[in-house]
């Protein structure tokens, strides 16, 4: 394990700040009911070095402190921390290696998004809010199990050609990405909300579609005017 | 941008009070689970000047302070504030310009109300609570997208001839109105509750209708005796 | 309005204690998600005089204090308090006049119980917890609207011959009764829970019935051994 | 009733520690919405003596203190405590007598798990999270009513040959087991989460199955690498 003291001061400073931010964002996962027990994780890539900060494995959310957050390199190898990194670290690391514009990744098993994933069915874009945030349906990624790069590869291959910051990995659950960990957490909250809303709409009958050119206008405006993507 | 100091003291006082009230009412949106992340907003029109106080754009609910609240004129132009006004400001402003008795507007994407909106289906009046509060079904407004006055116009045209303080804008979500922002927030909480309840009833089978004359009696009594509308 | 000072000290003491208890129990309504905004109420009858303590009308739950609680006689006439009594006071009073063993009444519009009420359909007894608490299905009461004794009469006529402490008033919502207000609040929490659970079971298919003699054994044991009814 | 002073100091110490832990774990039942009012309980067996610590009967969760926790022997007989033990004590005790590797038992009536129990239908293993935690479907146990050993026997007979730490007792609700009370509480939270998610998936259509050999690989890895079972 590398000694953190070997890194330049600005890297050490960014690590300290990022540990605070990533810890605080895990509280958002519980606030918006996206996780149960320890079943979700947030990471953020550093700008000053090829490192990421991620949740430790198996620590309960109400006990997480910034110091518990783990530092790994972009192969998922532990660099600093008192705990093992999350068991999903390999998937986060794969995303950072293959999507250089991405600095935040979130994984949850939030109820409604995971239900669509269990069906292997994309969430159709029937809400203006989905046009804004996702620019179309929320896509489904392949079935892949933990242990090699297949989860990371499934995420990257699905999202690379999509405007959606969220993918529903089949039988597994949502992964979301963003330019910051906060943006990825927002996407995790939004994908659960639209998964729930469209589920309810579908139980009532067939939701009304939104024409593709209107979805395009919503998404263009949202990402241009607000620059929130 | 006008200087707030140019306004008479009683306007400045009403602005300060209204910033407190509107900020506090955003906490009610989260308390009753009506919003996720930053996706809902409350405004209140002033009595002492043609101004409104509204939520800033993109600030998380747990960080909102009264000082963050933005003052706009009734064309939605920023008059005072450190942030941009909510992206829904134009719709709020349109309502105030065209419904002079209205001093509060609320917009959310609350789950169940938005699901009915995605279906383009009004919520039938099958609960005595709906007779009280809404005086009939909760109506659906037209599909309209952000960028001009079409959302505001859709709200006003739908609610002008209705007893309901809530409209479900198609594929979008609920807007509610009231004589105060608090009344509009109450209507936002109530429309979500009845949307949820009637959804569940419909999954069980066909809800029992309430005869129109009984709905009229409920609504008359509620608005006369309690004067809560 | 009678002056509270005219009552003997032990009545004044019981009123003070009961205001504390009834106020505290309203917090249980929000804790268990049984109410939205101001749409539910708890009352408790006194043992030392023919009086009841009930929620005031239209005050938000987070602002209720013991002093806000209203004292009425058993005709629902205000005896002491700074607010109007709940608009459901007549129904509570009717129950106390006609069921002398009852000292607590609760009314909510909790989501799932109210959905069954909108269907006019009793909740079948398919859970051992229902056998314990309700001793059979949760019955439906008649359609009745506010303004005379028809709600109170519907509650009493339905519950008088039932083992259930809860009735689903058609198109309206649940009323629950108990030997104390706390027991009635517990019944309000339990009826919502079983309404939700049996709804979900029915969406999955037909719930398995429990034979009547087993329901009887569950209920006898629960009310005898635990004396919690 | 045995005097607690008769036990060796290390037993008295373990009792004190276990009362703290078991009390704190009841707060997790409410945090994850697994219980209403008093309808769920946690116990933990001691390592230093044939004793267990369990929730008292009928005390509300927000009032539970470590001192309220009750000590019983493994026949469910009260050894120390100011309250009666939970009415489910006999079932917990039966599990400890017949599954010597188990040191934690939890019982709830959590909504979605209980709905599957009311259907008498196992929850199919269609989520990778279920492969990890349960190693297959969540099984259904027999209908059994309180009063003799039939609940305990049903739990043990169902779980003895299963990889699942959770059983859905028919028409009743889930019981979960673990090497500690915390592990059993985690299983109670997870079984409710998967019961909810798979319910939603099934309302959308047929969930996609996961092949048995993949379930085996998930479960083997989870229990070997993480040793969390």
pLDDT at B146: 82
pTM for the predicted model, two decimal places: 0.96
Please state the rounded mean pLDDT for residues C197-203.
Answer: 98
Residue A187 in domain? yes
Q: How does the average pLDDT of chain B come out, rounded?
A: 95
CB pairs under 8 A between C and D: 85
Among the listed residues A174, A184, A79, A186, the one whose alpha carbon sits nearest the alpha carbon of residue A129:
A186
pLDDT at C3: 79
Instruction: Report the percentage of chain D scoring pLDDT > 70.
Output: 97
Q: Is the pLDDT of residue B43 over 80?
A: yes
A129 contact B CB<8A: yes
Compute φ and ψ for D220, nearest 5 degrees: -60, -50
* Cβ-contact B130, B191 below 8 angstroms: no
Among the listed residues B206, D190, C181, C85, the one whose alpha carbon sits nearest the alpha carbon of residue A114:
D190
pLDDT at D1: 57
What digits encode the pLDDT tens for the residues D145-182? Answer: 888 899 999 999 999 989 999 999 999 999 999 999 99
Total tally of structural domains belonging to chain B: 1
pLDDT at C147: 81
Among the listed residues C184, C182, C180, C129, the one whose alpha carbon sits nearest the alpha carbon of residue C159:
C184
Query: Hey, are the CB atoms on B218 and C146 less than 8 Å from each other?
Result: yes
- Residue spans of alpha helices (H) in B1-127: 9-31, 89-98, 111-119
B58 contact A CB<8A: yes
DSSP class of D101: T
Residue D132 in domain? yes
Query: Hey, are the CB atoms on D115 and C197 less than 8 Å from each other?
Result: yes
In a structure prediction context, what are the per-residue pLDDT tens digits for chain A, which is 229 residues long? 567 889 999 999 999 999 999 999 999 999 999 999 988 999 999 999 999 999 999 899 999 999 999 999 999 999 999 999 999 999 999 999 999 999 999 999 999 999 999 999 999 999 999 999 999 999 999 999 888 899 999 999 999 989 999 999 999 999 999 999 999 999 999 999 999 999 999 999 999 999 999 999 999 998 887 543 3
CB pairs under 8 A between A and B: 84
ipTM rounded to 2 decimals:
0.95
Residue A229 in domain? no
Beta-carbon count within 10 A of B170 CB: 21
What digits encode the pLDDT tens for the residues A46-83? Answer: 999 999 999 999 899 999 999 999 999 999 999 999 99
Question: Listing from the earlier edge strand, what are the strands of the sheet with B140-141?
Answer: B78-80, B70-73, B51-54, B41-45, B104-107, B173-178, B166-169, B140-141
Beta partners for C124? none
Please report all neighbours of A, defined by 3+ CB atom pairs within 8 A. Answer: B, D
How far is CA A187 from each of CA B131, B170, C154, rounded to the nearest angstrom? 38, 23, 49
Q: Is the pLDDT of residue B142 over 90?
A: yes
What residues in D contact A121, CB-CB < 8 Å? 204-205
Please state the rounded mean pLDDT for residues B160-185.
Answer: 97
Residues with Cβ < 8 Å from A20, sequence gap 6 or more?
A: A66
A193 contact B CB<8A: yes
Angle (deg, nearest 10), helices A181-204 and B181-204: 50
**Token digits for A154?**
């499934």
| From D31, D204, D214, residue closest to A115, measured CB to CB | D204
pLDDT at B224: 83
* Cβ-contact A43, A55 below 8 angstroms: yes
Residue in D with minimal Cα distance to A112: D197
Please state the rounded mean pLDDT for residues C50-66.
Answer: 94
CATH code, domain with C55: 3.40.225.10
- State how far the Cα of C221 lies from the Cα of C25, in Å rounded to an integer: 27
pLDDT at D209: 97
pLDDT at B2: 65
Q: Is B6 exposed, middle or buried (CB count within 10 Å of its CB: 0-12, 13-18, 19+)?
A: exposed
Dump the DSSP string for chain C. ---GGGS-HHHHHHHHHHHHHHHHHHHHHHHTT--STT--EEEEE-SSSSEEEEPBTT--GGG--GGG-EEEETT--EEE-SS-B-TTHHHHHHHHHH-TT--EEEE---HHHHHHHHHT-PBP--SHHHHHHHSSPBPEEPP--BTBSHHHHHHHHHHTT-S-SEEEETTTEEEEEESSHHHHHHHHHHHHHHHHHHHHHHHHSPPPP--HHHHHHHHHHHHHHS---
Residue B229 in domain? no
Residues with Cβ < 8 Å from A220, sequence gap 6 or more?
A: none
- State how far the Cα of A198 lies from the Cα of B112, in Å rounded to an integer: 9
- State how far the Cα of A74 lies from the Cα of C60, in Å rounded to an integer: 52
Gyration radius of chain A's alpha carbons:
17
Among the listed residues A9, A52, A6, A27, the one whose alpha carbon sits nearest the alpha carbon of residue A180:
A52
What residues in B contact A32, CB-CB < 8 Å? 36-37
Confidence of residue B226 (pLDDT cuts 50, 70, 90): low
How far is CA D43 from each of CA B34, D21, D62, rounded to the nearest angstrom? 37, 10, 18
Confidence of residue D39 (pLDDT cuts 50, 70, 90): confident
**Distance (Å) from the alpha carbon of C180 to chain D's nearest alpha carbon:** 15
C203 contact B CB<8A: yes
Residue C229 in domain? no
pLDDT at B227: 43
* Cβ-contact D141, D221 below 8 angstroms: no
Among the listed residues C83, C52, C78, the one whose alpha carbon sits nearest the alpha carbon of residue C68:
C83
Query: Hey, are the CB atoms on B172 and A128 less than 8 Å from each other?
Result: yes
pLDDT at D71: 98
Question: Listing from the earlier edge strand, what are the strands of the sheet with A78-80?
Answer: A78-80, A70-73, A51-54, A41-45, A104-107, A173-178, A166-169, A140-141
* Cβ-contact D204, A115 below 8 angstroms: yes
- State how far the Cα of C30 lies from the Cα of B32, in Å rounded to an integer: 10
Containing structural domain, residue B197 = 4-224
pLDDT at D38: 83
**Token digits for C110?**
């909790």
pLDDT at C145: 87
Among the listed residues C100, C12, C91, the one whose alpha carbon sits nearest the alpha carbon of residue C55:
C91
Residue D229 in domain? no
Among the listed residues D174, B145, B163, the one whose alpha carbon sits nearest the alpha carbon of residue B154:
B145
Residue A102 in domain? yes
- State how far the Cα of D204 lies from the Cα of D129, in Å rounded to an integer: 19
Among the listed residues C172, C170, C165, the one whose alpha carbon sits nearest the alpha carbon of residue C188:
C165
Compute φ and ψ for A51, nearest 5 degrees: -130, 160
For D155, the 3-state DSSP assignment is: helix
Residues with Cβ < 8 Å from C122, sequence gap 6 or more?
A: C116, C137, C138, C139, C140, C168
Q: Given phi > 0 = left and psi -120 to 50 = alpha, else beta, which region is A51?
A: beta
Please state the rounded mean pLDDT for residues B2-17.
Answer: 92
pLDDT at A38: 83
What digits encode the pLDDT tens for the residues B92-138? Answer: 999 999 999 999 999 999 999 999 999 999 999 999 999 999 999 99
**Token digits for B18?**
């209204």
How far is CA B200 from each of CA A110, B36, C183, D35, rounded to the nearest angstrom? 22, 22, 27, 21
Residue C161 in domain? yes
Please report all neighbours of C, defined by 3+ CB atom pairs within 8 A. Answer: B, D
* Cβ-contact D196, D127 below 8 angstroms: no
pLDDT at B39: 85
| From B87, B118, B143, residue closest to A207, measured CB to CB | B118
pLDDT at C228: 38
HSE of B106, CA atoms in CB hemisphere, 13 A: 31
Q: Determine which of B171, B195, B199, B205 to mutate to test the interface with A (most A C-beta atoms within 10 Å).
A: B171
A200 contact D CB<8A: no
pLDDT at A148: 86
How far is CA C226 from each of CA A38, A58, C209, C229, D82, rounded to the nearest angstrom? 37, 40, 25, 8, 16
Compute φ and ψ for C83, nearest 5 degrees: -120, 170
Q: How does the average pLDDT of chain C come out, rounded?
A: 95
Please state the rounded mean pLDDT for residues C23-52.
Answer: 95
Compute φ and ψ for A141, nearest 5 degrees: -100, 170
A203 contact D CB<8A: yes
Dump the DSSP string for chain A. ---GGGS-HHHHHHHHHHHHHHHHHHHHHHHTT--STT--EEEEE-SSSSEEEEPBTT--GGG--GGG-EEEETT--EEE-SSPBPTTHHHHHHHHHH-TT--EEEE---HHHHHHHHHT-PBP--SHHHHHHHSSPBPEEPP--BTBSHHHHHHHHHHTT-S-SEEEETTTEEEEEESSHHHHHHHHHHHHHHHHHHHHHHHHSPPPP--HHHHHHHHHHHHHHS---
How far is CA B210 from each of CA B124, B135, B215, rounded to the nearest angstrom? 10, 11, 7
What digits encode the pLDDT tens for the residues B177-215? Answer: 999 999 999 999 999 999 999 999 999 999 999 999 999
* Cβ-contact A157, A169 below 8 angstroms: no
What digits encode the pLDDT tens for the residues C147-196? Answer: 889 999 999 999 998 999 999 999 999 999 999 999 999 999 999 999 99
* Higher pLDDT among residues A39 and D135, named by residue: D135
pLDDT at D145: 87
Q: Is the pLDDT of residue C229 over 80?
A: no
């Amino acid at each position: 394990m590398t000694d953190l003291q070997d890194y330049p001061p600005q890297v050490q400073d960014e690590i300290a700040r990022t540990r605070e931010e990533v810890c605080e964002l895990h509280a958002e996962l519980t606030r918006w009911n996206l996780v149960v027990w320890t079943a979700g994780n947030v990471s953020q890539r550093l700008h000053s070095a090829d490192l990421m900060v991620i949740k430790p494995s198996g620590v309960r959310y109400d006990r997480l402190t910034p110091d518990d957050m783990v530092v790994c390199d972009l192969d998922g190898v532990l660099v600093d921390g008192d705990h093992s990194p999350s068991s999903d670290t390999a998937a986060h690391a794969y995303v950072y290696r293959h999507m250089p514009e991405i600095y935040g990744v979130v994984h949850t098993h939030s109820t409604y998004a995971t239900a669509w994933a269990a069906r292997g069915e994309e969430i159709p874009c029937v809400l203006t809010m989905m046009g804004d945030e996702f620019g179309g349906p929320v896509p489904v990624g392949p079935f892949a199990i933990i242990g090699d790069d297949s989860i990371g590869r499934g995420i990257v291959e699905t999202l690379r050609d999509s405007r959606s910051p969220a993918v529903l990995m089949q039988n597994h659950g949502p992964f979301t990405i963003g330019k910051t960990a906060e943006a990825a957490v927002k996407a995790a909250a939004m994908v659960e909300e639209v998964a729930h809303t469209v589920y309810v709409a579908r139980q009532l009958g067939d939701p009304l579609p939104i024409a593709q050119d209107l979805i395009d206008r919503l998404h263009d405006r949202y990402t241009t005017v607000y620059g929130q993507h």
